[in-house]
Structure 1
């Protein structure tokens, strides 16, 4: 049984992949320097020979061909709500948070959207603390099974963050009753790990060859929604002694998994995320993370096509010091959030658009 729900692998794009440059000057390395860095780490190891002799060659190949450049853009709209209860984090390079990395890893990136309910305290807490908990638990040294270690790290991180918030919430007078969804994208070199709970989503735009030499976009869902109308979720809630009325836990809570919501934890609401893994390739254009406010008025396919249309039009005002591609992505992100409000979404809307460039 696989550790993760792997997404289907695409047909690889032929031809060499250019070396990418990380989008943060303080940690920028060329592909050649990445190779040297990995070799130095191996030379300082204890000299133990791995049972899989081909693994080092695979690591060298990733470094030589270059890693994708990831750049994040965010747009947030309050909508008709009195308070902005969403929170977000963009860390294209987590190096400053991590003390050490596994010897086979060159870079870790992190992007996250948190959609609060009952207040903004749970979403803000998760935005401030979850990636720090992740950094503390992230694998270090030589990890023989990195997938397994990353999975454990993510599960432990979500549990720790939830426990920490519930402890703080219960110590208040009166106790906080806030809760939050979470959709977190962790990119380890060129592998995407997605952990989510609640109803915020993440999707990937992947281009595939079509007729007459043209390409078409394919929308890949990277998350699974958790609400009490889903059979497995409803059964867990009912086994815990809770009820589902009008599609909500106890007739009140719309999601069946969340951070916080201490008063519903005894009713089967849990903080265990679903995990998925996806290999990035040169066919991929961008990732989108967004709260349910966006997807109340857009389908996932519509979101991808909306962004692609703006990227293809390239009708943006030029700004000194900014590449046209960056300005197009920024414009697409903001126009997408604004269009959700224009279409009648009264909820908070937060959109993170992550460009992928090899």
Structure 2
């Protein structure tokens, strides 16, 4: 689970914003971990594209690739020829691989072995939501009556398709990890697992290949939650959506709700399973759908409040 502190660092970095289409809140917290390796991106509208972009990057082995990706991935996607032509899937895929290509050419990253997950939500000017993912961070949408629908799938080495690719690349899966080391099977960076020169980037043991889900927004869609596994290890998709909707019924705004969710997930003590002990990052994106910000908050507050989720029982490490 990684090294932990004697006391968690609970200071949070929180932002909020909105335009006529979207409303967002985001927050991140180091927690029990000795370092903060998460990063995230929140762009309401990028230059003249009319598109919004939000992403969460969960780093491992250091924070360098996560921080770089937070600053560069949206540019590689939204400044690409494919994006200009409306070929958004191609733009996203080339953007993910473009991060790896740029890192390999950057002398500052020559000896860097870190990597990161990348889950992103891009809303085009035509109100089509593209969610892309590599790794085990996650995106979930709350739609009619607060039903939680996953917009990404976790990439774990034990999954049959992932394990087959790992073995074909000359690697192996041990204790649910690539080569007994890495707990996810797709990521940006992690070049120690991308060394088979006979294979293309999508066939490597660990690949930057993103899954991409396309979703046309409707008036039933309420919000999307992007978060790292520090949140999803604690609660299910539906439980996270229920938590957000419960807090909206208390007339809280999205930034403080992100903070509340992280505090709710935070373990009281370091534990053997690591549940509630990881870095945490949450981004909530609301879809206004011709409503004002206040109208959207009033709309959500008028709905029945689901109960707060029950925390998982955890094993406390012996003192």
1:168 CA drift (Å) = 2.6
Provide closer, same or farther for how the CA distance between residues 265 and 170 of structure 1 changes in structure 2, counting only shifts above 3 A: farther
Could you list the runs of 5+ residues in structure 2 that have no partner in the other structure? 1-16, 196-203, 269-274, 290-319
What CA distance in whole angstroms lies between the structure 2 residues aligned with 1:243 and 1:292?
A: 23
1:128 is matched with which residue?
71
| Bigger share in helix | 1
1:240 is matched with which residue?
169
1:231 is matched with which residue?
160
Aligned length in residues: 258
1:151–1:275 CA contact under 8 A, matched in 2: yes
1:169–1:176 CA contact under 8 A, matched in 2: no
Within-5 A mapping of 1:320-339: 327-339=252-264
TM-score (norm 2): 0.77
2:267–2:277 CA contact under 8 A, matched in 1: no
What CA distance in whole angstroms lies between the structure 2 residues aligned with 1:244 and 1:139?
A: 36
Aligned equivalent of 2:120, options 157, 180, 184: 184
2:185–2:206 CA contact under 8 A, matched in 1: yes
Provide closer, same or farther for how the CA distance between residues 79 and 133 of structure 1 changes in structure 2, counting only shifts above 3 A: same
What CA distance in whole angstroms lies between the structure 2 residues aligned with 1:229 and 1:170?
A: 33
Alignment of 1:265 with 2:194, yes or no, is: yes
Which digits, 9 at most, give the CA deviation of each residue in 1:54-92, with x for residues without a partner? xxxxxxxxxxxxxx6212211111111111100000001
TM-score (norm 1): 0.69
What CA distance in whole angstroms lies between the structure 2 residues aligned with 1:124 and 1:220?
A: 28
1:79 match: secondary structure: strand
1:76 is matched with which residue?
28
1:193 match: secondary structure: strand
Could you list the runs of 5+ residues in structure 1 that have no partner in the other structure? 1-21, 25-67, 102-106, 208-215, 315-326
2:214 is matched with which residue?
277
1:227 CA drift (Å) = 1.1
Larger Rg: 1
1:169 CA drift (Å) = 6.3
What CA distance in whole angstroms lies between the structure 1 residues aligned with 2:18 and 2:109?
A: 41
1:342 CA drift (Å) = 3.9
